[in-house]
């Protein structure tokens, strides 16, 4: 008799919606990445933060390519995946202007 497995669906636990566009340029501890997706809770990066372990506190900047202004955040390395070469950073603190920038950038891409 086969048994049914209950898989954890992370989307059920997610508090903020993820957006795959626009693609942001993200600087984390002086390394430049591109976002794979972003939410108000964090960002999924297209590379591994060298020398940073899971749980490490980081500071960084978000910008749109071609935009002359960047917006600061602080966060924590939530996970890294050596097989895909990606890193997930959870935002600990984003300023109101950074939150407004994220909202506006996503809203413009949705319309």
What are 103's two structure tokens?
């909202």
Question: Between these two residues, 41 and 110, which has the higher pLDDT value?
Answer: 41
Is the pLDDT at 111 greater than 80? The verdict is no
Is the pLDDT at 82 greater than 60? The verdict is yes
DSSP tag of 9: -
Name the CA radius of gyration of the chain, rounded: 15
**Is 94 within a domain?**
yes
pLDDT value at position 74? 95
Q: What is the mean pLDDT of residues 54-69?
A: 93
Which residue range forms the structural domain that includes residue 47?
Answer: 20-110
Alpha helices in 1-93 (DSSP H): 10-13
**Is 64 within a domain?**
yes
What is the rounded distance in angstroms from the CA atom of residue 63 to the CA atom of residue 65? 6
Q: How confident is the model at residue 13 (pLDDT cuts 50, 70, 90)?
A: very low
**Is 89 within a domain?**
yes
Task: Note if the pTM is more than 0.85.
Answer: no
What are 51's two structure tokens?
């020398």
pLDDT value at position 109? 64
Query: How many domains would you assign to the chain?
Result: 1
User: Hey, is 6 helix, strand or coil?
Assistant: coil
pLDDT value at position 43? 94
What is the rounded distance in angstroms from the CA atom of residue 81 to the CA atom of residue 83? 5
What is the rounded distance in angstroms from the CA atom of residue 106 to the CA atom of residue 69? 16
Is the pLDDT at 7 greater than 50? The verdict is no
**Is 13 within a domain?**
no
Q: What is the mean pLDDT of residues 16-41?
A: 87
What is the rounded distance in angstroms from the CA atom of residue 17 to the CA atom of residue 89? 15
pLDDT value at position 50? 85
């Amino acid at each position: 008799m086969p048994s049914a497995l209950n898989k954890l669906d992370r989307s059920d636990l997610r508090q903020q919606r993820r957006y795959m566009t626009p693609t942001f340029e993200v600087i984390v501890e002086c390394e430049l990445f591109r976002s794979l997706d972003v939410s108000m809770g964090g960002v999924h990066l297209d590379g591994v933060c060298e020398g940073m372990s899971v749980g490490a506190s980081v500071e960084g900047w978000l910008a749109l390519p071609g935009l002359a202004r960047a917006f600061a955040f602080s966060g924590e390395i939530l996970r890294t995946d050596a097989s895909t070469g990606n890193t997930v950073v959870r935002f600990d603190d984003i300023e109101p202007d950074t939150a407004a920038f994220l909202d506006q950038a996503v809203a413009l891409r949705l319309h």
